[in-house]
Amino acid sequence: MKIAFTTKGSDWDSEIDSRFGRTEYILIYNDENEQLTSVDNRAIENEDHGAGPLTAQKLFEYKPDVLITGNGPGGNASRILEKSDIQIYIGAGNLTVKKALDEFKNNRLTNKNQ
């Protein structure tokens, strides 16, 4: 399973970014090989409009099964993500990536798809 996190940094101790569209980084954790991949998304700051859909498109390139974020994607990004099979979990704001993964594994995050 691949799990994507919206983050303010590029490692396990990075804080989850509560924003989806303008997140600074997307971290992808592959639990099969325990590999963590960092995707720099800071160029999105230069976009006046459409940050959410652009970040969603970038996310699709990595084919995650799960997205863990703070507040969740906004309207336009949500509509795009609804067309995918990605399960979206919210409520991880202010947690580290490591802690958010633990909360996810213990079913303590909110599944936005349900």
Q: Helix, strand or coil for residue 110?
A: strand
Rounded Cα distance between 9 and 38, Å, is 9
- Pairing type for strands 35-40 and 110-111 reads unpaired
CA–CA gap between residue 16 and residue 33 (Å, rounded): 22
Summarize pLDDT for 31-64 with one digit per residue, the tens. 999 999 999 999 988 787 889 999 999 999 999 9
pLDDT at 33: 96
Q: Could you give the CA distance from residue 17 to residue 70 in angstroms, rounded to a whole number?
A: 6
